[in-house]
Amino acid sequence: MAETELTTTATQSYLFNTGQGFQSQDYLGCHVEADGRVSFRVWAPQAQAVGVVGTFNQWKPTALTPVGTTGIWAGELTQVKVGELYKFEITSADGAKQLKVDPFAQQFERKPGDAAVVLAPITKQWHDSLWLARRKKSNPANRPINIYEVHLGSWRRHSNGDYDTYAELAAELIPYAHQMGYTHLELMPVMEHLLDASWGYQQFGYFAPTSRFGSREDFLSFIDQCHQANLGVIVDWVPGHFIRNYDALYHYDGTPTYEYADPDQADNHRWGAWNFDLGKTQVQSFLISSALYWLGTCHLDGLRVDAVSNMLYLDYDEGREGQVNQYGDNRNLAGIAFLQALNTAVFERHPDVLMIAEESSSFPQVTGPVAQGGLGFNYKWNMGWMHDTLDFFEMDPLYRHDHYKLLTFAFVYMFDEQFILPFSHDEVVHGKKSLMHKMPGDRYNQFANLRTMLTYMAAFPGKQLNFMGSEWGQFLEWRDWDQLEWVDLKDPLNRQMQHFTAALNQVYTANRPLWELDHEPRGIVYSNTDDAASSTLGFIRQAKRKYSFVIAAFNFVPVERRRYRIGVPYSGEYELLLNTEAKAFGGTWTKLETTFIAVNRPHKGQPASFEVTLPAMGALLIRPRQVKRESKK
């Protein structure tokens, strides 16, 4: 071995073992070298012997040799072709042999098999430089973020049940999301996994896009085409736990390798998985390398980190009640330190991406800077807002006035973190019913409620996310084994709901007050948030420019409110942006009030006001057209 190769090997091994190997996939795994040799390296520190088996040696092991005392085994073969399959044969200390997947593989064979594929180095020519340049110059906090959450395996399928490929999804999903006015796609996990019913949350291929839909190159092309269509791409990522299968990461070298040594800590009862030992330096290198691979090599715009609460608390899982750390509380100090190291490494290299925490507790400073003790994410899902909002809208309107605080409580903590407001897949599955089916009343009122709720989300401070199918009010809850109910769109009410969502998304994106100051108290003025008796609510969203704002007014009962007075900061002329009860959206209003004249009549703390007819079970979005500005003096 040449001296430079020895130096590189020593350096890479040191970095990996000390938790600083953030490009470990470039060293470990399988690599086709420039001279045609194929190198194999795998970390199995307690193994007695390691071999590589595959189609190139008739699945009979070719021995690898230990790299000093690093715990890494390595070897080179010359008669291996791109496209061939392989695994590692691990002999544990007691002599037992087990075939294992390559943890660093970037492609696997299609399920039900899980052998890795020998791949040539990536040679893709990207065409998204303009997108990346714009992303680098923008601050996501001051930009519109309107996410369409998608499960690729069930968005659309062939008539025989086969999956759409990455190429077919690029041809259909990208233009659809663009036409609907979304700014980002969020893909439920695309990392390789075996069980469809896990939706991708029980992974074993932490560097491999699932082969269900095509090759690694097909996936990269999909991302490239999204960016060319001005769509960002976020992918769900699971660094807390991994698949149970014994031929994957579990007991990789015959002993706890990636998981905790304590079997009680290793066993994730709630999800039937194994928990990563986040305090182990090699696991940190593995996981942070994975995150940086997706964000760097694959050009993703963000990761939604799944199940953060499970990494923050020792007693989060079932059967763990009473577990404490050395300080006597339930914080998982290793998990907290890992998340801080993860976000520090990500933002040092990619300061313009999104790191989103799916975190359901009241843990402080999830989006706070690491230097100030925070976890370092730049967004957190607002699960409290989501649950309270759904509870309110699922309620019979007759009783909503008694539960008005379900809406107003979120005003207390809306700026504690940088939030995304999610109506996600978790809320439309396992008997919870679809968003449309949750709504009370007959079919007409269900759509009216859904339009009002989505408008409430668009106007409320925070970025937003909506799961596929909700945009047209699919009645059936989500089924991962079948495509969405596209047949619904033969129904006029579903088509009108889809048209409404596209119109709402366009209004959201085109009006800076609805997103420019999402995370600053000056971005909202509470104009009418105390009228529980009438079940109405209103507020003003403010942009950076003083005279740029949007008035949002909501009526949560099926009773029209005539001569409803709205307080505003300036007298003058205002114009309608959106009326959820417009006939084109499936409502009853054939003639809309489009212009409103505010006079100098104080109302609800504002110096001027105007009257509107607030539609039954509806909402209005209104903005100033020509108002009387204050003198410079």
Residues marked active site are found at 306, 358
Reported in sequence order, the residue ranges of 495-617 that DSSP labels E, i.e. its strands, are: 524-528, 536-542, 549-555, 561-568, 572-579, 595-598, 608-614
End-to-end C-alpha distance for the chain, whole angstroms:
79
Q: Phi then psi for 455, rounded to 5 degrees?
A: -70, -40
The CA-based dihedral angle spanning residues 192, 195, 197, 200, taken in that order and rounded to the nearest 10 degrees: -20
Closest residue by Cα to residue 154 from 182, 187, 180: 187
Q: At residue 168, what is the residue type? A: E
How many beta carbons lie within 10 A of that of residue 23, not counting itself?
A: 17
Give DSSP secondary structure letters for 299-324: --SEEEE--HHHHHBTT-STT-TT--
At 419, which helix (H) or strand (E)?
strand 419-423
359 and 366 Cβ atoms separated by less than 8 Å = yes
Backbone angles phi, psi at 45, to 5 degrees: -65, -30
The DSSP code sequence of 212-252 is TS--HHHHHHHHHHHHHTT-EEEEEE--SEE---TTTTTTT
Q: Are the C-beta atoms of residues 181 and 505 closer than 8 Å to each other?
A: yes
> Cα dist. 369→332, 345, 366 in Å?
19, 13, 8
Contact 322, 369 (CB under 8 A): no
Calpha distance 390→584 (Å, rounded):
25
Q: Report the alpha-carbon distance of residue 278 to residue 136 in Å, rounded.
A: 31
Distances (CA, A) of 582 to 491, 499, 514, 591: 17, 11, 21, 8
Q: How many CA atoms lie within 13 A of 578 on its CB side?
A: 29
Q: Are 271 and 188 in contact (CB under 8 A)?
A: no
